[in-house]
Amino acid sequence: MSDVWAQLLSSALVGVQRRPCVLGPAAAPLETVIPAGPVDEAGLLHAAGTVTLAGRAGALAEKTAIPAPVVLVEETLVPPAAAARVSALLGGVRATGDQRGMRRLLHEWLELAAVHHRRSPAHLLPALLDLADQDGTLRPLVVAVGGTRAAWLAGLRPQQWGWMREPGEPAETAWTDGDTNARVAYLGAVRERDSAEGRRLLLETWKNESAADLAKLIGACRSGLDPADEEWLEKALDDRRVQVRSAAVPLLQRLPGSAYAGRMAERVAAWFHADGRKTIRVEFPAEFDPSMKRDGIEQKSAYGRGEKAWWIEQVVAAAPLSCWRTIDEDPAVMLKRSVGDDLGQVLRRGLTSATLAQRDARWAKELCGMASLESYAARPLVELLPPADAAEVALAGLQRRSGFANAFLSGLDRPWPADVSAAVVAKLGTAQLTEESGWRSLVTHAESGLDPAYAADIEKLADGVSFGEVLRQLAAFLQIRSDIHREFAS
Amino acid sequence: MVRRMSDVRWSTEQVHALAPDASSLAAARKLATGSGWSQEGAGGEPLSLWGLCKGSGATPYQTCVDVTEPAYKCSCPSRKFPCKHALALLLRWSAGTLATADQPSYVVEWHAGRAGRAAKKAARESAPRTAEQERAAERRAEKRADRMAEGVAELAQWLDDQVRQGIAGLDRAGYKHFDQVAARLVDAQAAGLASALRRLGALPASGAGWEDRLLGELGLLRLLSTAAARIDDLPPELADTVRARLGHNVPTEQVLAGPKVRDVWQVIGVRDEVEERLSSRSVWLIGRDSGRAARVLSFAAPGQALPVDLIVGTEIDADVCYYPGAAPMRALVAARHGDVRRLDRPGPAVFVARALSDVADALAADPWITRHPLLLQAAVVPGDPWRVVDAAGDALPLDPAAADPWPMLSASLGGLGTLAAEWTPRGVVPLTMFTAGEAVRA
């Protein structure tokens, strides 16, 4: 049969007019329908159709191993209503233009499922894995609600879903034979487990490493950082290679009570002085000295800031916040002081960086109260605060109609506490505010921040304001969230 | 034709399937959970839903749905069909929000109007034709047969030309080469041949081995045109098959007037396709007692929804009427004799070897079959290509163009289940896997 097909195809490809088709004898059972001998175009096509049909009708199954199902630990599924819900949400994410809303609802669904330790319906796991493949924030949740079954699936499709698997410690050969990335990963893993062992490995090969590799390996020692690391980090500051020095600085800044912190505190003490009770006087460093260079302070700002102001900002950012007690015990008092030479903004920027790096709630609260806050810092500063203080900051922001109010709200735990929610609802329903910038964004924040129980209150407000439809949609969104919560409770 | 949906409320998924597009559905979801509704209710005969929905104007929109067909009416200006208000009403009903009530007057009037129009249409259709009309109909039929014969002859000539000149360069000729002939076949009222030819146009771009596939399809089409030229000499069933392949439509009334096959019909799978902007839906049924398969085919123009009255994972005691042909498969559901019931595990499911022999039998009767339903007891196994494998170790490759059935694999853990699929010449297309009490779609 295949001989006949080869003859048919070779004539058909170049054309019967150039290569006439003369068929040899066909194999049984086709020899009765496809006679040997010359055929014209129609005869060629008839034979081709017949051979094709015979191939289809006569196709046999391949023989292969009999499938053996995988056996996994049974896990408790989400309740049926929640299963129907996630199916609809996934359909919505895939199909509708309203992706953002659907995605946030899906996110909340996954959080609830994870909290309740329930697994998603099996047939939806591939879709969830695909979504988490695109959106990294979903991954820990999908790992939680996917359970052993999702891990099993991921093993079958490692290119797409490989992030599902537990990242085990890389093999030791990664350190001796691996490329830079593999060695960095190995060192990081060792440091997690045993920082002294990691230190030993790094110092052992220090001399043989290139500057670029050494910088990356030093960075890997961020995990498991402890006071015993100070010695070699200080040595790194004396390295003549700039990459190595710059790699050591951020680690030293994370070591409280280090000599590095002490040197920064000394600089603060030398440069800043209380002048009466309302002013801070700044004594400029005369020139950029080698010790500043050694401690990783940049001489020139990449953002075009004034040279000396830039030194000051970097030193303030790197110095321990406790060193300011010599000026005022209370940060609130100190922040009220005016600063000489118009350096107030420079000082606040440095203090904001220091507060975020040292995660200091007391300074964070005072900075949040300032009208001249750095806008990028509003949310991360609030996130440093204990819940009651965070709520207080957000409330004050709403009352002052501060431009940072929405950013403060986004830093609160959700759902928002009752007093904050009440203030938000009041603001949403104030007719003259609906045209104000920030109102729409407040609506968006309220979609995920308000307790779903406020749906009815929002609905009532809708008739009184000019953008009532926006509020009706907010109420509908809250209602869906309320349903999602209820479905897990049942 | 009696088409009764059971009085059971629809699932949300069923309502979703009615939406003409994604934005309508999103809008309907919002409306359904909002508070804009008043004077709603459900009930009456035929079972209907109604309600007033607040819109942007002063007067609320009057929306009603007859869920038995389903049919819709709404006073809103939307040209979507069904509109978001009708969809929202269905969603509220499916969520159990609507209370049972008597139909208000505007719903009763709507039903009366529709019944009147339907009666007039039926009277027009069933009225005996006058001699004049009979002659006109005969003339039309003759004229059509002539044009079709011309179209078939032209196709045969074109096919022969392809192999006379050689097909080697057709991968660079593009779709136009095929579409021009297809357009002439549409003019000749041979729509079936036209769409077969358009499908052929995709083959030269289908990757390695395209020459074999193209020659095979050209050959089968040439056999069809030869059969069409001798249609009067063919056995009557084969002649019907050839007519159907050419694109001759048998009127619905004629199909419903034919023999009825009563069985508990299990809805095992559905496949939606789009060709030339026309959506089509194939719903596959298997008779629980007879083991016979049937394909219920429906079409929707852009912006219209496909019907959802047959739901995968349900079964219904009903009469089915087949379109005529040598291997009857396309069918209509005539009378329904009971409520729709949930279907956990359809049957009878077979092994791969038996399924292949069924496919061979079907091909022997109708050589131009390009799809055939399979109900297998089998597992889906990942690989390149994926395969379906039964308990005897017999495997069939999946159609590489079909999406990999990860959801089925996840639900079955690679174990055996009852798998509804389509056989096609390029491989198996999985449709539904019934496993662990669930019907998992591909």
DSSP of A116-146, one letter per residue? Answer: TT-BPPGGGHHHHHHHHHH-GGGHHHHHHHH
pLDDT reported for residue B3? 33
| Predicted confidence (pLDDT) per residue in A251-302, tens digit | 998 888 899 999 999 999 999 999 999 999 999 888 898 999 999 898 988 8
Contact between chains at B25 and A95 (C-beta distance less than 8 A): yes
| Tokens 């699932």 -> residue | B11
Band (A63; pLDDT cuts 50, 70, 90)? very high
Per-position DSSP letters for A423-442, written without gaps between them: HHHHHHT-GGGTTSTTHHHH
Nearest CB partner across the interface for A65, out of B164, B393, B408 = B393
A278 and A352, same domain (yes or no): yes
Determine contact: B437 vs chain A, CB below 8 A. Answer: no
- CA-closest candidate to residue A90, choices A77, A81, A99, A79: A99
Q: What is the distance between the alpha carbons of residues B380 and B442, in angstroms, rounded to a whole number? A: 11
Rounded to a whole number, what is the largest CA-CA distance in chain B? 72
Of B216, B410, B425, which has the smallest distance from its Cβ to A125's Cβ?
Answer: B410
Separation in Å, CA of B123 to nearest CA in chain A: 44
pLDDT at B1: 32
Q: Which of A52, A87, A130 to mutate to test the interface with B (most CBs of B within 10 A)?
A: A52
Same domain, yes or no, for A53 and A100?
no
d(CA B425, CA A58): 12
Give the domain extent around A455.
414-490
CB contact under 8 A, B220 and A53: yes
Q: What is the pLDDT of residue A169?
A: 61
Query: In this structure, are strands A279-282 and B71-74 parallel, antiparallel, or unpaired?
Result: unpaired
What is the pLDDT, as a whole number, of residue A383? 95
Going by the DSSP 8-state scheme, the letter that residue B398 receives in this structure is B
Cross-chain residue pair A153–B360, CB shorter than 8 Å:
no
* Per-window interface: B 12-31 vs A, CB < 8 A: 12-13, 16, 22-23, 25-26, 29-30
Q: Are residues A159 and A200 in the same domain?
A: no
Q: Residue A96: which of B23, B220, B364 has the nearest Cβ?
A: B23
Q: Are B71 and B114 in contact, with CB atoms under 8 Å apart?
A: yes
Q: Which residues of A touch B352 (CB under 8 A)?
A: 61
- Mind telling me how many Å the CA of B434 is from chain A's nearest CA? 11
Asked if residue A363 is part of any domain, the answer here is: no
Q: Which two tokens stand for residue A458?
A: 């929002």
Q: How far is CA B363 from CA A49, A398, B356, in A?
A: 12, 75, 10
In a domain, A69, yes or no: no
pLDDT, residue B6, reads: 41
Tell how strand A338-339 and strand A279-282 pair up. Answer: parallel
Across the range A415-436, mean pLDDT stands at 84
d(CA A291, CA A284): 16
Which of A51, A66, A99, A482 is most worth mutating to test chain B (most B CB atoms within 10 A of its CB)? A66
What average pLDDT does range A391-398 have in this prediction? Answer: 93
| β-sheet bridge partners, residue B375 | B420
Q: Is the pLDDT of residue A1 over 50?
A: no
Q: Which of A2, A56, A487 to mutate to test the interface with B (most CBs of B within 10 A)?
A: A56
List the single range of A92-101, B74-83, B149-158, B250-259 with lowest mean pLDDT: A92-101
Q: What is the pLDDT of residues A452-468, one digit of tens each?
A: 889 888 888 887 777 77
Say if residue A251 is in the same domain as residue A181: yes
On whether both A345 and A263 belong to a single domain, the answer is yes
Domain spanning B259-340 has what CATH number? 2.40.50
For A95, which residue in chain B has the nearest alpha carbon? B22
Q: Using an 8 Å Cβ cutoff, are A119 and A77 in contact?
A: yes
By the CB < 8 Å criterion, does B229 face chain A?
no
Q: Which residue of A has its CA nearest to B11?
A: A84
CA closest to B435 among chain A residues:
A123
Q: How far is CA B198 from CA A218, B184, B216, B217, B330, in A?
A: 63, 12, 15, 12, 22
Nearest to A42 among B30, B222, B413 (CB): B222
Residues A350 and A435 in one domain: no
Contact A70 B413 (CB under 8 A): yes
What pLDDT shows up at residue A88? 84
Question: What's the mean pLDDT when you consider all of chain A?
Answer: 89
Q: Give the residue from B99, B85, B92, B70 showing the smallest Cα distance to B12.
A: B92
pLDDT exceeds 70 at position B8? no
Q: Is the pLDDT confidence value at A433 over 50?
A: yes
* Residue A75 banded pLDDT, cuts 50, 70, 90: confident
Question: Do β-strands B387-390 and B331-336 pair in parallel, antiparallel, or remain unpaired?
Answer: unpaired
Q: Which of B164, B408, B438 sits opposite A41 (nearest CB)?
A: B164
Let me know if residue A66 belongs to a domain.
no
Judging contacts by C-beta atoms under 8 Å, the chain B residues touching residue A29 are: none
Q: Are residues A146 and A192 in the same domain?
A: no
**CB contacts, 8 Å: B424 with chain A:** none
B199 - beta bridge partners? none
Q: How confident is the model at residue B355 (pLDDT cuts 50, 70, 90)?
A: very high
Side chain identity, residue B291: G
Q: Classify residue B67 as exposed, middle or buried by CB count within 10 Å of its CB (0-12, 13-18, 19+).
A: buried
- What's the domain count of chain A? 5
Range of lowest pLDDT (A146-160, B300-314, B321-335): B300-314
Please state, in angstroms and as integers, the Cα–Cα distance from residue A97 to each residue in B12, B24, B25, following that order.
19, 10, 10
Total residue count of chain A as it appears in this document: 490
**pLDDT band at residue B194 under the 50/70/90 scheme:** very high
* Contact at CB, B425 and A56, closer than 8 angstroms: yes
A122 to chain B: closest CA residue: B411
The reply to whether A85 and A150 lie within a common domain is: yes
Rounded Cα–Cα distance for residues A125 and A121 (Å):
7
- pLDDT tens readout for residues A90-138: 887 776 655 567 888 899 999 999 999 999 999 999 999 999 988 888 9
* CA R_g for chain A: 34
d(CA A354, CA A267): 15
Rounded CA gap, B69 and B65, in Å? 9
Query: Are the C-beta atoms of A46 and A64 separated by less than 8 Å?
Result: no
- Bond into B236 cis (ω within 30): no
**Lowest-pLDDT choice from A310-314, A406-410, B91-95, B107-111:** B91-95
pLDDT tens sequence across B78-136: 877 888 999 999 988 888 888 888 999 999 999 888 888 888 887 877 777 788 888 88
Mean pLDDT of chain B: 89
Predicted pLDDT of residue A168: 60
ipTM value of the model?
A: 0.82
Which of A40, A67, A92 is the closest to B379 by Cβ? A67
C-alpha torsion angle, residues B334, B337, B343, B346 (rounded to 10): -60
Size of interface A-B (CB pairs under 8 A): 192
Among chain B residues, CA nearest to A2: B212
B353 to A95: CB separation less than 8 angstroms, yes or no: no
Lowest mean pLDDT among A147-151, A225-229, B77-81, B383-387: B77-81
Which amino acid does the sequence have at B179?
D
Does the beta-carbon distance from B395 to A63 stay under 8 Å?
Answer: yes
Confidence of residue A337 (pLDDT cuts 50, 70, 90): very high
Contact B382 A156 (CB under 8 A): yes
The region of weakest confidence among A113-127, A158-172, B294-308, B393-407 is A158-172
Residues A160 and A201 in one domain: no
Q: Please judge whether B219 and A47 are an interchain contact, meaning their C-beta atoms are less than 8 angstroms apart.
A: yes
Q: What is the CA radius of gyration of chain B?
A: 24
Is A379 part of any domain?
no
Q: Where is the domain boundary, A358, A383, A399? A: A358
Residue to test with chain A: of B352, B370, B387, B413, most A Cβ within 10 A? B413
In the block, which residue shows the tokens 């009309």? B133
Question: What is the arithmetic mean of pLDDT over B420-431?
Answer: 96
Nearest to A394 by CA among A411, A370, A377: A411
Q: Are residues A177 and A250 in the same domain?
A: yes
For residue A378, the tally of other CB atoms under 10 A from its CB is: 24
Question: Is B394 within 8 Å of A63 when comparing Cβ atoms?
Answer: yes
Rounded Cα–Cα distance for residues A191 and A184 (Å) = 11
What tokens appear for A92 in the block? 């919505």
- Among chain B residues, CA nearest to A53: B367
Residue A343 sits in the same domain as residue A267 = yes
Backbone angles phi, psi at B137, to 5 degrees: -65, -40
Cα(A339)–Cα(A283) distance, rounded to whole angstroms? 11
Residues A263 and A348 in one domain: yes
Which chain B residues have a beta carbon less than 8 Å from that of A53? 220, 223, 363, 367
In Å, how far is B353's CA from the nearest CA of chain A? 7
Structure confidence by residue, pLDDT tens digits, A165-179: 765 666 778 888 888
Query: Could you give the CA distance from residue A30 to residue A46 in angstroms, rounded to a whole number?
Result: 12
| Cα dist from B25 to A133, B80, B278, whole Å | 26, 11, 20
If you measure CA to CA, which chain A residue comes closest to B220?
A49
- C-alpha A39: how far from its chain's center? 68
Structure tokens at B78: 């939307």
Single-letter amino acid, residue A482: S
Q: Which pLDDT belongs to residue B4?
A: 36
List chain B residues with CB under 8 Å of A44.
163
Domain locations along chain B? 12-126, 137-246, 259-340, 352-441
DSSP B190-243: -HHHHHHHHHHHTGGGS-TTHHHHHHHHHHHHHHHHHHHHTGGGS-HHHHHHHH
Please state the rounded mean pLDDT for residues A421-430: 89
Chain A residues closer than 8 Å to B217 by CB: 52
DSSP A477-489: HHHHHHHHHHHHH
Residues of chain B with C-beta less than 8 angstroms from the C-beta of A97: 22-23, 26
